[in-house]
Amino acid sequence: MAREGVFSALPAEGLPPMAALAHKAAGLLARRSAKKAARKDRLSAALNRLGPSYVKLGQFLATRPDIVGTQIAVELSHLQDKVPPYPREVAIETIEVTLGRRIDDLFIEFGEVVGAASIAQVHKARVRTRDGEERFVAVKVIRPGVRQRFLRELEAFAFIAKVLETVVRSTRRLRPVAVVQTLAQSTRIEMDLRLEAAASSEMADNIKDDPGFRVPGIDWERTGRDVLTMEWVDGIKMNNVEAVRAAGHDLPQLGVNLIQSFLRHSMRDGFFHADMHPGNLFVAPDGTIVAVDLGIVGRLAADSRRFLAEILYGFIRRDYRRVAEVHFEAGYVPRNQDVLSFAQALRAIGEPIHGQPAETISMAHLLTLLFEVTELFDMHTRPELVLLQKTMVVVEGVARSYDPRFNMWEAAEPVVSDYILSEIGPAAKLRDAREGLEALGRIAKRLPDFATGLEVFAKNMPDLIENGIHINDDDLMELAKESRTGLIISHIAQIASAIALVVIAWQLTFG
């Protein structure tokens, strides 16, 4: 990290003396060529040199701007795996073992690698459908041994997170152990390609009637744990803005379409593509946006979607009191905080975005301020909202690259307003009333069971009042024995942790 100039690229203002000295030392270690590169390029180079596990960690931290800051999160979101492909013959062997069929029975033609990443690589192939037609497909194949390698790295990350949470009090609000656990779960899901296929299929069902956005169809016959076969996408990657412009597409409209599609998926369906960087987005010849690589997806419960819509709608309408109340109703901010003070802080965030030229309004800047305010009011991390916010920042960045004057709020308002009308309007109130009556009906069916329980409780109540609850001597001895065992285990765990820290320090120093 020091050699690639990552540390020296960080701001040094306000650092304490020892930290400032370390910053200068890191600058001396940086390579000359690294000093000329942009910070995001330095970070990308360093993580790629460290290895694929660190690349994946960097991509995951891009989903946690509450930990690394919004600016670094956006930079990390551009991190792409640059991993050499493994031989085509190994991929064929993996496919045959996974699907239990010979490669010639599955594909008319199985081509060379068209893209390689830390977890899998993609080949272009040709198949014959059951109707006898031929078509091209993309075949994603897991790297051999990748699960074992990531398991070792995740164990190291988990240990570091545990030490951080134990020693550095200020990190507890950010829950580093929970972050690593989420990373581990996300990686396990990403390494089972059947789950990615299921996510793509679910989104396809959700958006089948939506204009201007789709995901590739899945070939389930040729999909398994280590292999995913999907429709081949003929289009231009959205990171190639000039090629999209040369193809004659309406760039500002593409930006609006992307934002509105993302918000529609998040609010209406509660299920969204959480890795929508431009390398995962294509523009088809008819102008439709096609999203691939649904290894990372986000979900929002119905309550979270409703609260989110009210928060966005409140910012759009400048109703900061209502935005503050929603935070408290959702339990995002502790009850011991003051609603009016929180509304005042939200006004300080929201007012600057109104009345400004479109090109000066930045969702990234807004979210940075929001994280600072929520920390002041002891708001704890909400992983599902952070993932949503991060994706929103990335999507806004893509839209702004297509239209420098892009206005996030103007693009969002129609979708948010429609959702508010459908979820909080008269029709929603009638639906909530119906669901309430159904819940009362279910409770009524259980009333005989409740009555029986209450009857038994009432029968035994006099004895409990008169004699209390008794614990015999054998029970007390067992409790004491369990307490002593717990203390011994706790001491052993502390000693083992200390030994582990010494071993790691020795390896870092002399290894």
Candidate from 132-146, 247-261, 463-477 with smallest mean pLDDT: 463-477
Determine the average pLDDT of the residues in 383-408.
Answer: 79
Query: Is pLDDT larger for residue 191 or for residue 311?
Result: 191
Q: Is residue 235 classed as helix, strand or coil in its secondary structure?
A: coil
User: Which of 207, 232, 257 lies at the terminal end of a domain, its last residue?
Assistant: 232
CB 185: neighbour CB atoms within 10 A? Answer: 10
Q: Are residues 326 and 401 in the same domain?
A: yes
Specify the number of domains making up the chain: 3
- Read off the pLDDT of each residue in 248-255 and give the average, rounded to a whole number: 94
- In this structure, the answer to whether residues 88 and 27 fall within a common structural domain is no
Average pLDDT value for residue range 148-156? 80
- 363: in domain: yes
Q: Is the pTM of this model over 0.75?
A: no
C-alpha distances (whole Å) from 221 to each of 72, 120, 193, 259, 350 are 41, 19, 13, 33, 51
Q: Is 504 a domain residue?
A: no
Domain assignment of residue 72, given as a range: 1-80
Domain final residue, candidates 387, 408, 424? 424
Least confident interval from 126-130, 246-250, 414-418: 414-418
Structural contact between residues 266 and 308, judged by C-beta atoms closer than 8 angstroms: yes
Residue from 221, 183, 251 nearest 98 by CA: 221
Q: Which residue has the higher pLDDT, 349 or 135?
A: 135
The predicted model gives 341-359 an average pLDDT of 76
Task: Tell me the C-alpha to C-alpha distance, in Å, between residue 47 and each of 81, 118, 147, 240.
Answer: 9, 12, 19, 24
What contacts 70, CB < 8 A, 6 or more positions away? 364, 365, 367, 368, 371, 393
Q: Which residue has the higher pLDDT, 176 or 472?
A: 176
What pLDDT is attached to residue 173? 64
Is residue 166 located within the same domain as residue 270?
Answer: no
Tokens at 23, concatenated: 């910053």
74, 98: one domain: no
447 falls within a domain: no
Are 228 and 189 contacting, i.e. CB atoms less than 8 angstroms apart?
no
pLDDT value, residue 200:
95
pLDDT band at 444 (very low <50, low <70, confident <90, very high): confident
Q: Do 324 and 259 lie in a common domain? A: yes
**Is 433 among the domain residues?**
no
Residue 321: pLDDT over 80: yes
Q: Determine the pLDDT at residue 196.
A: 93
Report pLDDT for 60.
Answer: 67
Q: Quick one: pLDDT at residue 400?
A: 86
The model's pLDDT over 499-509, given as tens digits with 9 standing for 90+, comes to 655 555 555 44
Residues labelled as active-site residues: 275
Report, as an integer, the average pLDDT of 135-158. 87
Which of 10-14, 252-256, 265-269 has the least mean pLDDT? 10-14
Q: Report which residue type is found at 511.
A: G
- Mean pLDDT across the stretch 40-57? 75
Q: CB atoms < 10 A from the CB of 112, how many? A: 9
Q: Are residues 258 and 209 in the same domain?
A: no
Within a domain: 107: yes
Query: How would residue 242 be classed by pLDDT, with cut points 50, 70 and 90?
Result: very high
Q: Are residues 191 and 254 in the same domain?
A: no
pLDDT at res. 131: 85
Task: For residues 101-123, give the mean pLDDT.
Answer: 91
pLDDT per residue as tens digits for the range 154-194: 888 888 888 878 887 766 766 778 777 877 777 777 789 99
Q: Is the pLDDT reported for residue 271 higher than 90?
A: yes
| Higher-pLDDT residue of 338, 70 | 338
Residue at 436 is within a domain: no
Bigger pLDDT: 491 or 126? 126
Same-domain pairing of 248 and 130: no
The answer to whether residue 289 scores a pLDDT higher than 90 is yes
Q: Is 150 within the bounds of a domain?
A: yes
For residues 43 and 68, the answer to whether their CB atoms sit within 8 Å is no
213 and 254 assigned to the same domain: no
pLDDT bracket for residue 231 (50, 70, 90): very high
User: Residue 465 has which token pair?
Assistant: 């009042």
503: Cα within 13 Å, side-chain hemisphere: 7
pLDDT value at 258 more than 90: yes
- Looking at 232, 264, 293, the residue that finishes a domain is 232
- The b-or-e profile of 235-254 (16+ CB within 10 A means b, else e) is bbbbbebeebeeeebeeeeb
Cα–Cα distance, 218 to 248 (Å, whole number): 29
Helix (H, G, I), strand (E, B) or coil at 326: helix
Q: Is the domain of 274 the same as that of 218?
A: no
Give yes or no: residues 336 and 315 share one domain. yes
**CB distance 194 to 202 below 8 Å:** no
Mean pLDDT of the chain: 79
Decide if pLDDT at 493 tops 60. Answer: no
- Residue 93 reports pLDDT greater than 60: yes
CA end-to-end span of the chain, whole Å? 18
Residue 284 lies in a domain: yes
Residues forming beta bridges with residue 237, ordered by sequence position: 282
- SS3 call for 2: coil
In whole angstroms, give the CA distance from residue 179 to residue 165: 11
What's the confidence (pLDDT) of residue 117?
A: 80
Same domain, 15 and 54: yes
